[in-house]
């Protein structure tokens, strides 16, 4: 499906993850006669976050009512189920249980319930200890929230379906094409990349873990910076998969934008435990020891990193323990599945979250989009951005049309 990057296009989308592909498909659907190209650095599409995640269609329980995350997740989840059905991509509305293991978590559970209902999740239901056991027989907790609309999906399969639609609509997907810079060339934007130059009417940058770098190279504010957070997963041995029927989550730490170590049935039948959340030495730190000098220096030189570490040092120590000690990692999940033991798991894969961190040390919670001349940048699209991708694509296309006009 890969082609060479064109010398000219009406619209160029940089990044062939689920967001870039969804944006290209949406822009092409709105203007079928436009030339749209996707420029992806790797030899294949969807090799980074899109292929290294929990595979969950989030229903929209957690997010601050009124935020972009809340709106785009709820809309995106509905569209994602429909899209999967239309394009024969595996997905299942299997439901999810959020478990409070002691009374100290009840207030936060009540806040999640309030948020979920405010976000329009009418089927969200508070459950007691007995109902928890009916939904997930191996889970123990004092109370829970059950979200029947949460589900699982093959996100790389969604990305492939989007790519097929783009190619079918006359768009170009160029892989092995690393965009290095963007500059104004008259009324157009000149993208220099590893295959040469593409002059575009405008560009949409969806570069995930490298989003800040391309935005800054285009003249945008360096704040916020992407700081990579590595998330490692374990896998339950097949003989122990019966411990988990669907999706089991803890009540999350309210100071972090991450959901905590959960147990998730994957669409291929495996059960994953994770992810951890450890600041990484590289934006592609799929292996724990991977360090890239530039990535590390950019993280260390960012004032926000030190402010965040100063504020969250005790959480950082817990995360270090989870990363270093499998027994501690398993213990975190055994809080709500007590039968779980270290011997029940083997190592799985890791993902690297592209998490925006403000200069002030704040982990940016909401999705963030910004403009430079003839370019729109997706600056922060962490979880649940895969769930929300089709709705994010509409938001991006609306913003692009407003900023650059329908003609590009
Ligand atoms: C551990 C983990 C668990 C998660 N769980 C979930 C979940 O259950 N549900 C959910 O909804 N979300 C989840 N997420 C979040 C979700 O995976 C991401 O929000 C989503 O995949 C982001 O998509 P993307 O297209 O922005 O990024 P990516 O998939 O990372 O794509 C960005 C692309 O840009 C390309 N690129 C970068 N720089 C350049 C350049 N210079 N030139 C050309 N191309 C470039 C990269 O090669 C890459 O292909 C999880 C994430 C992680 C890490």
Indicate the angle between helix axes 389-404 and 68-87, nearest 10 degrees: 110
* pLDDT tens per residue, range 58-107: 999 999 999 999 999 999 999 999 999 999 999 999 999 999 999 999 99
pLDDT the model gives residue 1: 62
Length of the chain: 408
Q: In whole angstroms, what is the distance from residue 320 CA to residue 257 CA? A: 17
Q: For residue 206, give the ligand 1 atom closest to its CA.
A: 26
Q: In whole angstroms, what is the distance from residue 120 CA to residue 207 CA? A: 31
pLDDT the model gives residue 141: 97
Contact 309, 384 (CB under 8 A): no
Residue 208 Cα to ligand 1 midpoint, Å, equals 5
Q: For residue 352, give the ligand 1 atom closest to its CA.
A: 53
pLDDT the model gives residue 71: 98
* pLDDT tens per residue, range 338-363: 999 999 999 999 999 999 999 999 99
Q: For residue 48, give the ligand 1 atom closest to its CA.
A: 30
Within 10 angstroms of residue 394's Cβ, the number of other Cβ atoms is 18
Residue 84 Cα to ligand 1 midpoint, Å, equals 19
What Å distances lie between residue 7 and 12, 55, 142, 195, 196, CA to CA? 11, 36, 61, 10, 8
For a mutational test of ligand 1's pocket, the pick from 48, 197, 246, i.e. the residue with the most ligand atoms closer than 8 A to its C-beta, is 48
Nearest CA to ligand 1 atom 33: 15
pLDDT the model gives residue 407: 54
CB-hemisphere CA count at 13 Å for 225?
20
pLDDT the model gives residue 408: 52
**Predicted structure pTM score:** 0.97
User: Residue 363 has what DSSP assignment?
Assistant: B
pLDDT the model gives residue 2: 75
- In this prediction, the residues of the chain whose per-residue pLDDT falls under 50 are none
Q: Which two tokens stand for residue 309?
A: 């570490």
Residue 175 Cα to ligand 1 midpoint, Å, equals 16
pLDDT the model gives residue 319: 86
* pLDDT tens per residue, range 25-58: 999 999 999 999 999 999 999 999 999 999 999 9
Q: Is the CB of 152 under 6 A from ligand 1?
A: no
Q: Is the CB of 385 under 6 A from ligand 1?
A: yes
C-alpha 59: how far from chain center? 14
Q: Is the CB of 139 under 6 A from ligand 1?
A: no
Residue 31 Cα to ligand 1 midpoint, Å, equals 26
- Residue 166: closest CA among 38, 46, 14: 38
**Phi, then psi, of 366 in degrees rounded to 5:** -85, 165
Q: Is the CB of 201 under 6 A from ligand 1?
A: no
Q: Which residues partner with 272 through β-bridges?
A: 235, 264
């Amino acid at each position: 499906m890969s082609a060479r990057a064109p010398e000219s296009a009406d619209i160029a989308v940089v990044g062939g993850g689920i967001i870039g592909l969804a944006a290209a498909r949406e822009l092409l659907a709105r203007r079928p006669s436009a030339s749209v190209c996707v420029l992806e650095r790797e030899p294949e599409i969807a090799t980074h976050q899109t292929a290294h995640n929990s595979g969950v269609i989030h229903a929209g329980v957690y997010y601050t009512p009124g935020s972009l995350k809340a709106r785009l997740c709820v809309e995106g989840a509905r569209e994602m189920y429909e899209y999967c059905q239309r394009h024969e991509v595996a997905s299942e509305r299997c439901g999810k249980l959020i478990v409070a293991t002691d009374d100290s978590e009840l207030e936060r559970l009540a806040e999640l319930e309030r948020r979920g209902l405010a976000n329009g999740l009418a089927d969200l239901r508070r459950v007691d200890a007995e109902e928890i056991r009916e939904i997930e027989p191996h889970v123990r907790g004092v109370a829970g929230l059950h979200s029947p609309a949460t589900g699982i999906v093959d996100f790389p399969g969604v990305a492939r379906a989007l790519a097929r639609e783009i190619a079918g609509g006359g768009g170009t997907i160029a892989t092995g094409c690393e965009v290095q810079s963007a500059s104004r060339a008259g009324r157009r934007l000149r993208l220099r990349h590893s295959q040469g130059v593409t002059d575009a009417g405008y560009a949409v940058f969806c570069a995930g873990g490298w989003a800040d770098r391309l935005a800054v190279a285009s003249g945008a504010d360096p704040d916020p910076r992407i700081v990579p957070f590595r998330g490692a997963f374990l896998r339950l041995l097949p003989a122990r998969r019966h411990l988990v029927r669907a999706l089991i989550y803890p009540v999350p730490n309210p100071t972090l934008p991450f959901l905590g170590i959960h147990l998730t049935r994957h669409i291929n039948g495996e059960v994953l435990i994770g992810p951890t959340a450890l600041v990484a030495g590289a934006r592609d730190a799929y292996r724990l020891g991977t360090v890239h000098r530039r990535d590390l220096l950019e993280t260390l030189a960012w004032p926000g990193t030190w402010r965040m570490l100063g504020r969250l040092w005790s959480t950082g120590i817990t995360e270090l323990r989870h990363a270093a000690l499998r027994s501690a990692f398993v213990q975190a999940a055994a809080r709500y599945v007590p039968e779980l033991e270290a011997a029940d798991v083997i190592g799985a894969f890791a993902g690297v979250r592209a998490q925006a961190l403000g200069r002030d040390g704040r982990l940016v919670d909401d999705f963030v989009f910004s403009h430079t001349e003839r370019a729109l940048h997706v600056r922060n699209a962490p979880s649940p951005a895969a769930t929300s991708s089709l709705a994010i694509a509409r938001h991006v296309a609306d913003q692009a049309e407003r900023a650059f006009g329908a003609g590009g």
